[in-house]
Amino acid sequence: MWMRYVTGLMGLLLLGSYVLRSDDPGVSHNYDAEKSRYHAFSDATKDKIGNFFRKMHQAGLFNGTYLYFKDDSLLQGKYGFANFRTGDTLLLDDLFQLASVSKTITGTAVMTLYQDGLLNLDDSVHHYIPELKRKNLTIRQLLSHTSGLPEYFDFSDRYWPDKNRHMNNTDVVQMLNKLPSTMFARPGAFYNYCNTNFVLLSAIVERVSHLSFRHFVKHRVFEPSGMPYSHINNFDSIPLSGYFLQGFERSHYLVQDVPQNGTCGDKGVYSNTWEMFRFDRALRGPFLLHRSMLEEMYRPMVPTSNQGQYYALGWRVTWINMRKWAFHNGWWKGFRTYFWRCLDDNRCYVVLTNNVNGRFLSTREMVSLLD
């Protein structure tokens, strides 16, 4: 009990061999006072949002938490289990693996270094990772998925010798160097969504900052945004089994650890709906990134395979009803996640799930719940 209390006061996430949960004794998120400053939605809007997620839960398509915000009104909700095997029910502020929503964190981290004058977006990747044999790549191409690099998920199983040990970002670089040239496309030629890009970006952040990626993100993104419990996983120190909330496939298949869980930048962030809402708040002010940096980060770079959508720098962008949205969805090992932010007015939603079953939720339908 004493150790939990001390850890909570220090704002740490990890204790012993497990991750603290929002109802652990002695741990105060200081969320409640902040939440009380926001108004409730109208009964009609609350019912509309609640009915959507209740129906999705009843259909087996939603098990998780959600947060909706518009102007000064806010709503949180939850349905289902943190762990289907133990029957532990979800709490509003449980921490989920963000999957590819983590790329918004990585993109923001790179932009802070750009803002500090420590790198340029059109710099050569080879300048920062000289051991990488590919010499014709730029940071901007990594951020916009136009690098022509192959997906490391597709080749790491073949080239990674120890299936019981995590690979890291440097290991991915070494595996890339073993690949034949036929597996690479011409940089800048076209858009191809590829997690390898963001693994290399997190490696560049480490080389420039002389900090581990998880420590850089903690100090430059999470702390300024008021996200004390958000963190990048380190399953070599705290095993996946040490997390209260687990990822499942079709409710009864517990997703096990894999070697690719050792890489970061493309995935790996754990957070909750409230702290992601705080991230949204931080990105709307000048203290995390200046306006010029934000405009650059959200500028469409290349059309994606989804009609009307573009990839910017770590973010997807689209227009719905003449309003610009910056967003990212994610999937990874039992988790599906959604983080959507309207740039033309003051609204956003965060939806986090830990049970992959059937199709993705309709993001346009979820946007319409705020109309």
How far apart are the C-alpha atoms of 270 and 231, rounded to whole Å? 5
pLDDT at 18: 72
Structure tokens at 9: 């006061």
pLDDT at 10: 41
Instruction: Report the relative pairing of strands 231-232 and 269-271 from DSSP bridges.
Output: antiparallel
Instruction: Assign a CATH topology to domain 2-368.
Output: Beta-lactamase (3.40.710)
- Residue 272 makes CB contacts below 8 A (sequence gap 6+) with 22, 65, 92, 93, 94, 95, 96, 229, 230, 352
Per-run averaged pLDDT (10 residues), the chain, 371 residues: 34 54 60 93 98 98 98 98 97 97 98 98 98 95 98 94 93 97 95 98 98 98 97 95 96 96 98 98 96 98 95 98 97 98 98 96 97 91
DSSP 8-state assignment for residue 285? S
Residue located via tokens 């650890």:
257
Helices marked H in the chain? 2-10, 31-35, 43-58, 102-115, 125-128, 139-143, 152-159, 169-177, 196-209, 213-217, 223-225, 273-283, 291-298, 363-368
How far apart are the C-alpha atoms of 133 and 151, rounded to whole Å? 16
For 32-56, the three-class secondary structure string (H helix, E strand, C coil) is: HHHHCCCECCCHHHHHHHHHHHHHH
> Which contacts of 321-329 are long-range, i.e. CB under 8 A and separated by 24 or more positions?
321/371, 324/298, 325/367, 326/298, 327/363, 328/100, 328/101, 328/103, 328/104, 329/100, 329/101, 329/360, 329/363
Cβ atoms of 340 and 329 closer than 8 Å = no
For 209-273, the three-class secondary structure string (H helix, E strand, C coil) is: HCCCHHHHHHHHHHHHHCCCCCEECCCCCCCHHHCCCCCEECCCEECCCCHHHHCCCCCCEEECH
What pLDDT digit, counting tens, does each position of 282-325 carry? 999 998 999 999 999 999 999 998 999 999 999 999 999 999 99
Structure tokens at 370: 């705020």
How far apart are the C-alpha atoms of 297 and 313, rounded to whole Å? 5
pLDDT at 17: 57
Structure tokens at 280: 């949204």
Domain boundaries, the chain: 2-368
pLDDT at 98: 98
Phi, psi values for residue 225, rounded to 5°: -90, -5
pLDDT at 22: 67
| Helix, strand, coil percentages, rounded to 5, for the chain | 35, 20, 45
How far apart are the C-alpha atoms of 248 and 82, rounded to whole Å? 10
How far apart are the C-alpha atoms of 179 and 175, rounded to whole Å? 7
Cβ atoms of 343 and 298 closer than 8 Å = yes
- Residue 87 makes CB contacts below 8 A (sequence gap 6+) with 81
How far apart are the C-alpha atoms of 305 and 308, rounded to whole Å? 9
Structure tokens at 3: 């150790």
